[in-house]
Amino acid sequence: MTDASPILSNEEFDALLASGGDRPTALGHLRPSDQLRAQLKTVTTLLQELGPLPDQPALVRRLHDGTVAAVAIGDSLCAGRSPHCHIACPEDVGLSKRHFEITQEAGHYFLSDLHSTNGTLVNGQPCPSQERRHLLDGDLISAGSSLFAFLAGSHAPPVILAH
C-alpha cells in the first residue's frame, strides 16, 4: 500500500514549519517521514536555542517571550495553568489547571494525562487519561497550545526492546 500524500520539498517543509505547522496536530496529513522530519527539526531548533544541555531528565519548551528553557523533572513534574504546577503556563487557555504529569520509575519516565479537557499528545498520538506513556529522548509533548520536548539527560537508561 502506498501513501498518496506528496513528499514535501525542503522549501515547502521549511515554509510549513515557519507558518506554525510544527504542532503535531497540524502535521497529521503528512507522510510519516515528513512528520518525523518535523519532529526532529523542532527538537533540534529547541536544543540549539537552549544552550548547554541539561545533565538530568528535563522538559524543554519555548516560553511566552520566545526564549527556550529547560525544567528538570526529578521524581515527578506537573504541567498546567495552575501556579502550583512545576511548569505553570497561565497564558495557555488550552491547558487544564493540572494537565499532565511525568513520573520516574527505576530511571524510566512516564507521562500521564490528568483527565485534561483538551487531551495530551506524545509525538502526535493521543495519550488517553487511563494510560501511562513511556517517554523516550526527544519525544514531543503537545498540550493546549504548548509544545514540550522530553530530554532524557546524559544518564538515560538503555532502551529495552521487546522481542
What average pLDDT is seen over the chain?
81
- Write out the residue limits of the CATH 2.60.200.20 domain(s) in the chain: 54-151
pLDDT score recorded for residue 24 = 47
Q: Between the CA of residue 59 and those of 11, 54, 87, 127, what are the distances in Å?
A: 29, 10, 9, 17
- Split at pLDDT 50, 70, 90, the class of 133 is very high
Q: Are 6 and 123 in contact (CB under 8 A)?
A: no
User: Domain 54-151 falls in which CATH fold?
Assistant: Tumour Suppressor Smad4 (2.60.200)
Residue 26 confidence (pLDDT) above 60: no
Q: What is the pTM (predicted TM-score) of this model? A: 0.75
pLDDT score recorded for residue 88 = 94
